[in-house]
Amino acid sequence: KKILDLIRSLEKEAPAAGGMVHFLIGNHEEMNILELSFRYGYVTQKQFQSFLPAGYVAAQEARFKEKPENGGDLTKLWEDLLTDPDAQRLYTRTFNKNYGTWIAQHNAVIKINDTLFCHGGLSAKYAEKTLGEINAAVRRDIDKGDTDGVAMDDDGPLWNRRLAFGGPTAVAD
């Protein structure tokens, strides 16, 4: 949350300083928007709490503390809530309300001068498409909640890691 808040702030400040911030949609942003982040188990308790409404967090913690058998350690509460489907949906709704629309307005792939930037990599499968076509497809998938399109494709720009892990042959291809 702090990172997204900082990027959003820098996006607004950069033009006044003669610069620009290029925030790219990545697979973690996409998974948060599509409510898939819990499937992969990467959401930490701190992240989970930070995107939930403050009133919900306070109410859950107060209710937990009322029961003497729980002791004072809130770790158990957050471990349980992290796996609770209702709490996960609330997390996703709150994330999307505050950040999802803003994130989805960004690109997944951009070109600055002669350099292409994307979160993952660009495979041969997408190399013939224009950047506009790729970005439109990613946005469309996120908008529609499509988990079978370019946004979730292992060869797509959010997930492809072949250039990073494939060695010199993969890079040459």
Residues 104-161 have pLDDT tens digits of 999 999 999 999 999 998 888 998 999 999 999 999 999 998 889 999 999 999 999 8
Beta strands in 60-139 (DSSP E): 109-112, 115-118
How would you class 138 by CB atoms within 10 Å of its CB: exposed for 0-12, middle for 13-18, buried for 19 or more?
Answer: buried
State the Rg of the chain over Cα.
19
Q: Residue 60: its pLDDT value, please?
A: 95
On the question of pLDDT at 170 being above 70, the answer is no
Q: Residue 173: its pLDDT value, please?
A: 58
Amino acid symbol at 143: D
Report how far residue 29's alpha carbon sits from residue 35's, in angstroms, rounded to the nearest whole number: 10
- Per-residue model confidence as pLDDT tens digits over 95-115: 999 999 999 999 999 999 999
Q: Residue 1: its pLDDT value, please?
A: 94
Q: Residue 38: its pLDDT value, please?
A: 92
Q: Residue 168: its pLDDT value, please?
A: 72
Question: pTM, whole model, 2 decimals?
Answer: 0.86
- Per-residue model confidence as pLDDT tens digits over 13-59: 999 999 999 999 999 999 999 989 998 888 999 999 999 999 999 99
Mean pLDDT, range 77-94, rounded to an integer: 95
Bridge partners (DSSP) of residue 115 are 112
Q: Residue 68: its pLDDT value, please?
A: 84
